[in-house]
A = this chain, B = another copy of it.
């Protein structure tokens, strides 16, 4: 999807999503993945001092009045779908995505686990990344749900860079993982050459797909949002790690692929036969410690510049 402006009305964005879903259904799609925070601009780039300026980005019910047309059209076309939005529950605010069946019922709900960025105001940056301010860490964890003839897992944006995401979803039976994302160009969170950003995005998806024998659908918001650029790179990755199809532009675009679930089975039956080869007795630190033991404190010690 092309970017969404601060000025755009949610109902107009939903109109675009309905049109995209129609095009996908025309091409035979049975499941459609939309981006993270699809209904609004990527608002965590802005510091809002006043809580009431943030509220308008959040949904308290889903379907909401503005998204009803999307639910309705998907049901008419008998298409399942997923999309991301900012959710306010009675307890907290989450960066959420939902999984909707072809009959329009919500089969699954995911709250983002890996929230990047920071919670404090950093007005010196060209833009901020305030997910840790506006969202709570997931209370759902990684789950999967039966959908059509497959088992589907959800994750969101930064989750895709952490190998634990795909592994937990695979252990919970996922054959396909759908995710939405909004990745700024450049990323202030990582001072590296800009051209590496797309490489890192694809590398993470491809390794996650291959090492777990599953399909990955990655849907970006791309291009400009009020002077801020998102890098795009939507694609469908096969369980071989190969990119099956990839967006070439930064506008609204439909990618359709006939995903053979047996391809993942082949990977999981052979090279990555979990039952035969995984040695959980040696994986303890992954859950027992958050950070590296006896590592030097961040930012100190060695002083050579990064080359």
Contacts and interface: CB of A to CB of B under 8 A. Distances in A.
Given A162-B211, A163-B167, A291 B279 contact: no
A286 B292 contact: no
A14 interface: no
Interface string A258-288: 0011110111111111110111111111111
A279 B240 CA distance: 28
B211 A204 contact: yes
A161 B277 CA distance: 11
Contacts of A187: 271
A118 to B, nearest CB: 8
Contact of A286 (B115, B200, B280): B280
A272 B161 contact: yes
Chain A interface residue number, banded: 35 or more
Contact of A279 (B137, B266, B304): B137
A142 B187 CA distance: 33
B141 A282 contact: yes
A206 interface: yes
Interface stretch (A33-41, A79-87, A93-101, A191-199): A191-199
A271 B189 contact: yes
Contacts of A151: 295
Contact of A291 (B199, B274, B298): B274
A58 to B, nearest CB: 22
A171 to B, nearest CB: 4
Contacts of A287: 280, 283-284, 286-287
**What is the oligomeric copy number?**
2
A171 B269 contact: no
B173 A207 contact: no
B282 A113 contact: yes
Nearest to A196: B240
A287 B189 CA distance: 30
A271 B62 CA distance: 32
A293 interface: yes
Given A168-B282, A302-B261, A274 B293 contact: no
A285 B171 contact: yes
24 contacts: A161-B272, A162-B211, A163-B211, A171-B286, A171-B289, A171-B291, A189-B271, A196-B241, A204-B210, A207-B207, A260-B306, A262-B303, A262-B304, A265-B298, A265-B302, A266-B306, A274-B291, A274-B292, A275-B290, A278-B290, A278-B291, A280-B286, A280-B290, A283-B287
Given A113-B282, A171-B291, 17 more contacts: A114-B277, A114-B279, A158-B277, A162-B277, A162-B278, A164-B282, A168-B282, A171-B286, A172-B293, A199-B241, A203-B210, A262-B305, A262-B306, A265-B302, A268-B298, A273-B298, A284-B287
